[in-house]
């Protein structure tokens, strides 16, 4: 590790002296007319281009405002203004005696008003390299090849594989798919996860091409599934093409010696925090192979904003998931989220703030009145506090402050959030052990957890394979957590997509998840209804989703025996004599003086059927 740190530090300190990349680049590679913000900054990269004085051939509505260099002689930043009403076409910039033709495209109809994901949706999280191989990926000229036997290596899943199984995802009842990052990660090893970008505008060739991604998004849309792009703002990979020739020495956060973030995220809200601790949190690197970006650099901030908009507009995305949210400069995050929402007012952004404290997560959600005046424009956040409470509720004994009480009190903390229904609650993700393993391979408890996920006042997200009871070590082991989806590769003896080789437990769980989330798609009171909860008693927790005309009762019984609940206790919402239907079995019943909840089971009743 010490050798790696020394190498990383030496690489960073020597960057301005290294040879430049000979390839000419223009980023973003195209833009659109009709954007609400009329400004556009092009980053041009070519040997010696910094001193060029560009001119723009006359084009109605487009003005060349200025150009400037940074520190490197090989970058030029060109600022354009594209007035409202400008027609699509091709600009011609004359730079250093050469004509640069730049496409201005028409936006897709309704693009600005696209509807992002929300409480009506259920999200299916996929690690593309580990889901399915369909033949779109190309290994040639990439530093790391495929080795399915290596838990930390590339296994060969690709866009074609995901596309072939969109019907499976839709059939489970999911309406959104979130793939972990698909952009190029051309590093010598451990490149499969996607969080160490080497090119922000290019799909990794081992997944396919940009056109393959477009085809994937289009087919997903045809099946009623939106695509959420995983965007990384905080860091890049050490093999990113910038690292051969940084535009400026402060493009990444440099330290006299390699300095890693200490992950002390509360320093940003702590009124007593030292400036040094805050700096180390945001400017420290994750690992030696992930240089930390300095979003205080104006050109870099603009670059990151524009590349986000480019992916949304180019491919018709329904939302953005933002990795390591609070690690980026927070003034930049305010500007970034404002600009994205300016262009797409109904889009959704969900940020990752891995904190168990609701107040810390709430700080970053749009509409929060913060103690320090900070303003965020991100509509959603990942609900790590409630995910932690859910696991505790099902693994701890029940007491005044333990077990199911944590679930009850966790939801009671919704008063700190501007919009709790827009938080994303998850069973697990690519960074956490599998929920089935954390629940000690208990199928009944897993069903209770997923029933809560699907019915509480949140946007649910399921990690691929949870429907198959996939397992992992209970301590963090990324390669094993991100195991291959059974049946995703030719020759797999177990196949999730056809059912071949699945155990009886896996088949039952897969069918149960399908029924649960298929029901949720049309259970509109779960999407937008109010919530009333009752304090847990004797191992049973009950809450209601309701509005003026619809009511759903959810009872979670984690005890080893059936429990009779007195209906009179819930008189604010239901009464004896009302008709009800079990949402998962379809069985009709009439409420009596008591309601029976089976042992170690969730019960979901639609009242008034």
Q: Which H or E element spans position 120?
A: none
CA atoms within 13 A on the CB side of 50: 13
C-beta atoms surrounding 48 within 10 Å = 11
DSSP letter assigned to residue 65 = E
CB 297 within 8 A of CB 252: no
565 CB-contact burial (10 Å; exposed 0-12 / middle 13-18 / buried 19+): buried
Q: Which residue has the tokens 């700080």?
A: 363
Q: Which H or E element spans position 309?
A: helix 298-315
C-beta atoms surrounding 34 within 10 Å = 17
| 352 labelled catalytic | yes
CB 105 within 8 A of CB 32: yes
C-beta atoms surrounding 586 within 10 Å = 9
**Sign of the Cα pseudo-torsion (233, 32, 45, 139, in order):** positive
| 21 labelled catalytic | no
Per residue, the 3-state secondary structure of 214-248, as one string, reads: HHHHHHHHHCCCEEEEEECCCECCCCCHHHHCCCC
End-to-end alpha-carbon separation of the chain, Å?
63
Structure token pair of residue 52? 């060029």
Measured CA to CA, the distance from residue 302 to residue 231 in angstroms comes to 15
Structure token pair of residue 604? 């979901």
The catalytically annotated residue of 184, 283, 292, 323 is: 323
Measured CA to CA, the distance from residue 136 to residue 229 in angstroms comes to 19
Measured CA to CA, the distance from residue 244 to residue 241 in angstroms comes to 6
Sorted by sequence, the CB contacts under 8 Å of residue 105 that are 6+ apart come out as 30, 31, 32, 33, 88
233-250 burial, b at 16+ Cβ within 10 Å, e below that, comes to bbbbbbbbbbbebbbbee
The catalytically annotated residue of 121, 352, 353, 467 is: 352
CB 196 within 8 A of CB 236: yes
Inter-axis angle of helices 330-343 and 298-315, nearest 10: 30
Helix (H, G, I), strand (E, B) or coil at 353: coil
DSSP result, 28-93: SS-EETT-SS-EEEEEEE-TTGGG---EE---TTEEEEEEE--SSTTEEEEEEEE-TTPPPEEEEE
> CA dist 148 to 151, 442, 483, 491, Å?
7, 29, 10, 13
CB 252 within 8 A of CB 12: yes
CB 539 within 8 A of CB 393: no
Measured CA to CA, the distance from residue 196 to residue 292 in angstroms comes to 11
With residues binned 3-state (H G I as helix, E B as strand, rest as coil), the percentages for the chain, rounded to 5, are: 30, 25, 45
**Sign of the Cα pseudo-torsion (573, 417, 462, 470, in order):** negative
Measured CA to CA, the distance from residue 78 to residue 68 in angstroms comes to 7
Which residue numbers are catalytic? 323, 352
């Amino acid at each position: 590790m010490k050798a790696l740190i020394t190498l990383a530090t030496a690489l960073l300190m020597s960057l301005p002296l290294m040879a430049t990349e000979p390839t000419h680049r223009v980023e973003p590679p195209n833009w659109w007319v009709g954007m609400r913000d009329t400004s556009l900054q092009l980053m041009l990269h070519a040997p010696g281009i910094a001193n060029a004085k560009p001119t723009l051939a006359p084009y109605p509505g487009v003005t060349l405002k200025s150009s400037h260099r940074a520190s490197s002689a090989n970058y030029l930043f060109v600022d354009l203004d594209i007035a409202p009403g400008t027609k699509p076409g091709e600009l011609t910039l004359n730079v250093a005696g050469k004509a640069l033709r730049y496409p201005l495209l028409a936006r897709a109809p309704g693009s600005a008003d696209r509807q992002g994901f929300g409480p009506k949706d259920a999200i299916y999280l996929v690690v593309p390299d580990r889901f399915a191989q369909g033949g779109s990926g190309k290994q040639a000229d990439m530093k790391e090849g495929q080795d399915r036997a290596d838990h930390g290596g590339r296994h060969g899943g690709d866009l074609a594989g995901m596309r072939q199984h969109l019907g499976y995802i839709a059939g489970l009842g999911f309406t959104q798919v979130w793939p972990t990052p698909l952009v190029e990660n051309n590093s010598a090893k451990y490149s499969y996860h996607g969080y160490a970008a080497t090119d922000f505008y290019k799909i990794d060739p081992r997944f396919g091409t940009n056109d393959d991604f477009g085809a994937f998004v289009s087919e997903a849309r045809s099946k009623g599934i939106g695509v959420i792009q995983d965007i990384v703002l905080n860091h890049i990979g050490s093999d990113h093409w910038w690292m051969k020739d940084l535009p400026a020495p402060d493009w990444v956060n440099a330290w006299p010696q390699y300095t890693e973030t200490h992950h002390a995220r509360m320093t940003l809200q702590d009124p007593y925090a030292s400036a040094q601790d805050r700096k180390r949190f945001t400017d420290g690197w994750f690992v030696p192979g992930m240089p930390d970006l300095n979003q205080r650099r104006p050109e870099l901030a603009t670059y990151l904003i524009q590349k986000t908009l480019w992916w949304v507009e180019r491919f018709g995305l329904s939302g953005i998931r933002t990795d390591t949210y609070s690690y980026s400069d927070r003034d930049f995050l305010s500007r970034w989220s404002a600009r994205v929402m300016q262009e797409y007012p109904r889009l959704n952004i969900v940020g990752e703030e891995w904190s168990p404290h609701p107040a810390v997560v709430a700080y970053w959600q749009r509409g929060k009145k913060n103690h320090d005046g900070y303003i965020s424009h991100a509509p959603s956040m990942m609900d790590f506090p409630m995910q932690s409470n859910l696991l505790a509720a099902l693994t701890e004994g029940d007491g005044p402050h333990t077990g199911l009480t944590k679930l009850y009190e966790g939801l009671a903390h919704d008063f700190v959030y501007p919009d709790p229904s827009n938080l994303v609650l998850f069973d697990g993700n690519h960074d956490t052990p599998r929920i089935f393993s954390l629940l000690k391979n208990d199928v009944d408890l897993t069903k209770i957890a997923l029933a809560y996920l699907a019915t509480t006042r949140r946007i649910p997200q399921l990690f691929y394979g949870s429907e198959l009871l996939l397992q992992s070590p209970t301590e963090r082991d990324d390669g094993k957590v991100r195991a291959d989806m059974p049946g995703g590769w030719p020759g797999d003896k177990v196949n999730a997509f056809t059912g071949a080789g699945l155990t009886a437990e896996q088949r039952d769980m897969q069918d149960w998840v399908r029924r649960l989330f298929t029901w949720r798609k049309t259970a509109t009171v779960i999407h937008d209804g109010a919530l009333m909860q009752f304090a847990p008693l004797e191992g049973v927790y009950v809450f209601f989703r309701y509005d003026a005309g619809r009511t759903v009762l959810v009872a979670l019984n984690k005890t080893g025996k059936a429990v009779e609940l007195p209906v009179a206790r819930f008189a604010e919402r239901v009464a004896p004599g009302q008709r009800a239907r079990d949402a998962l079995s379809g069985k009709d019943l009439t409420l009596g003086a008591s309601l029976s909840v089976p042992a170690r089971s969730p019960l979901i009743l639609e009242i008034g059927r």
